[in-house]
């Protein structure tokens, strides 16, 4: 058994991580830190945990653990390390964007960096949209076939975090849809960096249009580019690339988000139209896009089976 702690555990990703670690057969959840909720039961923020744990939120992190997950807002992880020094024995998995472009840290996409993650002491967990886009495009880059690509993607309201805002409350989201951060989304830098690990000469834009969806969780991405392959060849290439990826699968039919919600899966679907390859990918933004992938990385770092604690059932209905 390893001891784990969560810093910044009162949000959506902290809650999902808490649920996963409480049910992981090789983990003892030692603490969940939250200054705003310190002293209160975890179930006061996450009512589904009534009867699951008697843990209370703590005000300060503890150091007698084997791994710490940072689930704070972007910028807060950097501030955390400016104010705190952790023992070298503690492994770190950071779910913010602070270290994703840091060459001294391992980028935690298992389908790209599995062997590096196994040896890592510090893993920067990918962003949710970044995960979905990268898994849609990495096989193309691996084969030197990535060209200028057009991408659209829609995400649920939980992708915006737990703090309410003008574009997350029910009366605005319900029966509504909108774009945001068109061509400028913060995840594009890590996407480009990851793709260039396979195709260093890639110098084309990723034309990305993100949408806010009127649902709570899940991401559906659609990307297309010109491609000389036949559809059969493209499917073979994608299946080979993900042959050793236990959570990423090539699907025969067009996707919907309910296939992946509440799972750590990424499903990928390919179609060919007039010489253009269309690739769909679907993930749960809070699991494969955040907390589930963090646990997947933890499993690799500690030598556990990669799927341990992550064999989850989709909420298909």
**What burial class does residue 207 get, using C-beta atoms within 10 Å of its C-beta: 0-12 exposed, 13-18 middle, 19+ buried?**
middle
Q: Say whether 266 is catalytic.
A: no
Other beta carbons within 10 Å of 229: 17
Ramachandran region, residue 152 (left: φ > 0; alpha: ψ -120 to 50; beta: rest): beta
User: Nearest-CA neighbor of 156 among 31, 268, 269, 289?
Assistant: 289
Q: Spell out a b/e string for 89-125, using b for 16 or more CB atoms within 10 Å of the CB, else e.
A: ebbbbbbbbbbbeeeebbbbbbbbbbeebbebebbbb
Which run of H or E residues covers position 189? helix 188-198
Q: In 3-state terms, what secondary structure has residue 43?
A: helix
At residue 234, the 3 state secondary structure works out as helix
For β-strands 27-33 and 2-7, DSSP reports them as parallel
Pick the catalytic residue from 71, 128, 227, 266: 128
From CA 24, how far away is CA 310, in angstroms rounded? 8
How many angstroms separate the CA atoms of 36 and 51, rounded?
23
Helix axes 188-198, 128-142, angle to 10 degrees: 20
Cβ atoms of 14 and 32 closer than 8 Å: yes
Tokens of 118: 């196994």
Catalytic residues: 128
């Amino acid at each position: 058994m390893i001891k784990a702690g969560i810093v910044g555990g009162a949000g959506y990703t902290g809650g999902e991580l808490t649920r996963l670690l409480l049910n992981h057969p090789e983990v003892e959840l030692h603490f969940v830190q939250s200054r705003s909720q310190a002293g209160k039961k975890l179930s006061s923020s996450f009512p589904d945990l009534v009867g699951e744990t008697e843990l209370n939120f703590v005000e300060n992190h503890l150091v007698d653990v084997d791994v710490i997950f940072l689930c704070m807002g972007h910028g807060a992880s950097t501030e955390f390390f400016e104010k705190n020094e952790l023992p070298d024995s503690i492994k770190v998995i950071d779910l913010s964007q602070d270290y994703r472009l840091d060459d001294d840290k391992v980028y935690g996409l298992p389908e790209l960096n599995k062997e590096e993650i196994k040896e890592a002491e510090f893993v920067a967990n990918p962003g949710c949209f970044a995960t979905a886009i990268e898994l849609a495009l990495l096989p193309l880059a691996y084969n030197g076939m990535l060209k200028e690509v057009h991408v659209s993607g829609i995400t649920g309201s939980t992708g915006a975090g737990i703090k309410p805002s003008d574009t997350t409350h029910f009366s605005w989201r319900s029966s509504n849809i909108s774009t945001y951060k068109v061509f400028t989304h913060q995840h594009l830098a890590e996407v480009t960096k990851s793709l260039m690990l396979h195709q260093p000469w890639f110098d084309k834009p990723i034309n990305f249009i993100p949408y806010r969806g009127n649902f709570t969780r899940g991401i559906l991405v659609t990307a297309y580019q010109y491609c000389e392959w036949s559809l059969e060849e493209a499917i073979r290439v994608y299946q080979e690339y993900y042959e050793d990826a236990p959570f990423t699968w090539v699907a025969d039919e067009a996707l919907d988000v309910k296939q992946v919600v509440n799972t750590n899966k990424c499903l990928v679907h390919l179609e060919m139209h007039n010489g253009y390859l269309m690739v769909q990918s679907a993930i749960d933004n809070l699991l494969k896009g955040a907390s589930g992938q963090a646990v997947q990385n933890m499993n690799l770092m500690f030598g556990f089976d990669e799927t341990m604690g992550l064999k989850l059932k989709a909420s298909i209905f």
